[in-house]
Amino acid sequence: MSQHGQSFMRGTLVLSAAAFINRILGFISGMYIARVLGAEGIGILMMAHPLVPLVITITELGLPVAISKLIAEAHARGEREKVRRILHVSLAVTGFLSVTLTTVVLLGSEWIASILLSDQRAYYAMLAITPIAPIVAVSAVLKGYFRGMQQMKTIAASDVLEHTVQIAIVLALVHLLMPYGVAYAAAGAMAASVVSELISLSFLALSYKLYGESKLPGETWARHLKHGRRTLGELLQIGLPTTGHGVVHSLYNTFQPLLITTSLALAGIGTAAATKQFGLLAGYAFPLLFMPSFITQSLSTALIPAIGEAAANKNSLLIHERMNQAINLGLLIGAPATVILYEWSTPLTTLIYNAPEAGVLLAILAPMFFLHYFDAPLHAIMLGLGRATTMLWNYVIATVFRGISIFVLGSQFGISGVAYGIGIGIVMQTLLNFVSISSSIGFYWSIRPYIKVGICSMLMAIGGHWTYTYVVGQGMPQVWSVITSILCSLLIYLAALILTGTLTWRNARYRFSIPW
């Protein structure tokens, strides 16, 4: 394997390991918050959050992706001054925009709350989370710098530090503020995110001071900004096309709580009950559904430049090879994740959150969410192929359809209808991206591997169900019944993959792909 390939794989593995640790830490924190706040408190928490991503998306302007690309090119050419100019111009733009928009949001917080918050108890939580926007924006710029310099360990360390600190502060603040009411406890959980993000930013800033490029004589911030117009143009040329997707995504997330609670109100569900049901969906079911996707997300981060380089060299064979690797990985991870989340839906939500009623929503979403594990690789492939505009329109169409489905089904069937509406949107988005890629470069695939993985998944489900029924019948405690049966089912799945020749040690070790 070439040195470039080894660096690519090392970076992917480092980010995957950090993402796994962060998912575990975040899951522990979320489990504690869910148990303390309850479904109603989680609903308040989820309602207060969506406005901030919109502010962050607007202030970033897609610059982190552009920063990593331009800095990597400048560093390769030995243009040290341009590396720092890119960083300084980006920090100035994002810093100014984020502080300005955050100030506007804080000043108009009461008016914004009256429009977006169906439950006004979420107002304090919204205030607590708003200051995080400029911190995250500046952190994203510094992460873009380290990504461009191929210093993935720094990014991974800052992420792990952030989540570790967040757990400690969340435990303290939620416990301290809960006696004053669920609204204040939710605000405390949000404030913990702000503090942990600030500590992560401090770590990134210190790392840059210690390991960043040294200044040249006469080099100043003022000089960089004075001659930074061309650099800003280069950054925006790359960053703006990806901003549209982020803005649509953030706008949808901002209005989704209001859309869901409104549809539930039309179904005859009161405000407090709607907030609780929204908490069951967004705070209990979604974390479990998103948990397995950290590997495909990490792979996708490295997949964009790999596809882009192959496309620039007109190497269609390499494009399809990388594409097949990503799709295969999504299949291998998504299949067992879907089986576990569907078959053990109620035991998992009961054991983790003490909320068996959330198991119904998890079981509804799990089969449709299977396609989500292909979404990140498909997203990265389209960006690598330069199809950002097509990807944006696919997302807009799927989002509009999802919103309509949520409103129609939610108003008719309550929270179960909302779950079906979200699942339908996920299916449509994945299929649209798949069709776009197929129409662009073609997509050649055989049905045999999918049949093989399907058979392996069926054996996993049957074995897991039998094991769970048996150990429960033997009087084993619930926690050990769930753990034992899931582990047995995974062993059956792995054994079936090997016996059918779907997975081999040589491919797993050297290529991280499947011999199909």
Query: Do the domain assignments include residue 189?
Result: yes
Nearest residue to 263 via CA among 107, 88, 406: 406
**Total number of domains in the chain:** 1
Residue 509 counted as domain residue: no
503-514 per-position pLDDT tens digit: 765 544 434 333
Q: What's the pLDDT score for residue 291?
A: 82
Whether residue 94 lies inside any domain: the answer is yes
pLDDT band at 378 (very low <50, low <70, confident <90, very high): confident
CA dihedral 70, 71, 77, 79 (to 10 degrees): 110
- Note whether residue 324 is domain-resident: no
Which region among 50-64, 190-204, 220-234, 424-438 has the lowest average model confidence (pLDDT)?
220-234
Give 199's pLDDT tier (boundaries 50, 70, 90). very high
Mean pLDDT in residue range 395-400: 92
DSSP state of 217: T
Which pLDDT value is given to residue 502? Answer: 77
Tens-digit pLDDT profile for residues 255-313: 888 888 889 989 888 878 888 888 888 888 988 998 887 777 776 766 665 665 666 56
110 versus 433: the higher-pLDDT residue is: 433
Whether 196 shows a pLDDT value over 70: the answer reads: yes
Q: What is the DSSP letter of 220?
A: -
Domain range holding 99?
A: 1-241
CA–CA distance, 421 with 11 (Å, rounded to integer): 37
With respect to residue 516, please indicate whether it lies within any of the assigned structural domains.
no
Task: Calculate what percentage of the chain has a pLDDT beyond 70.
Answer: 84
Q: What is the 3-state secondary structure (H, E, C) of 401-413?
A: HHHHHHHHHHHHH
Mean pLDDT of the chain: 80
Is residue 491 a part of any domain in this protein? no
Predicted pLDDT of residue 306? 63
Two tokens, residue 357 = 């009623």
- 366 close to 215: Cβ distance less than 8 angstroms: no
Q: Is residue 40 part of a domain?
A: yes
Predicted confidence (pLDDT) at residue 411 exceeds the cutoff of 80 = yes
User: Tokens standing for 187?
Assistant: 């605000």
User: 331, 305 in Cβ contact below 8 A?
Assistant: no
Higher-scoring residue by pLDDT: 516, 406: 406
How confident is the model over 213-271, as pLDDT tens digits? 666 555 555 665 666 677 777 777 766 766 777 778 777 877 888 888 889 989 888 87
Q: What is the pLDDT of residues 166-188, one digit of tens each?
A: 888 888 888 888 888 888 888 88
Is residue 149 a part of any domain in this protein?
yes
Q: Among 68-72, 91-95, 136-140, 465-469, which stretch is predicted with the lowest mean pLDDT?
A: 68-72
User: CB burial class (10 A; 0-12, 13-18, 19+) of residue 349?
Assistant: buried
- Amino acid (one-letter) located at 486: I
Q: Of residues 11 and 478, which shows the higher confidence score?
A: 478
Q: Which of 12-26, 304-318, 344-358 has the highest mean pLDDT?
A: 344-358
Q: Distances from the Cα of 175 to the Cαs of 25, 124, 287, 502, in angstroms?
A: 18, 17, 22, 49
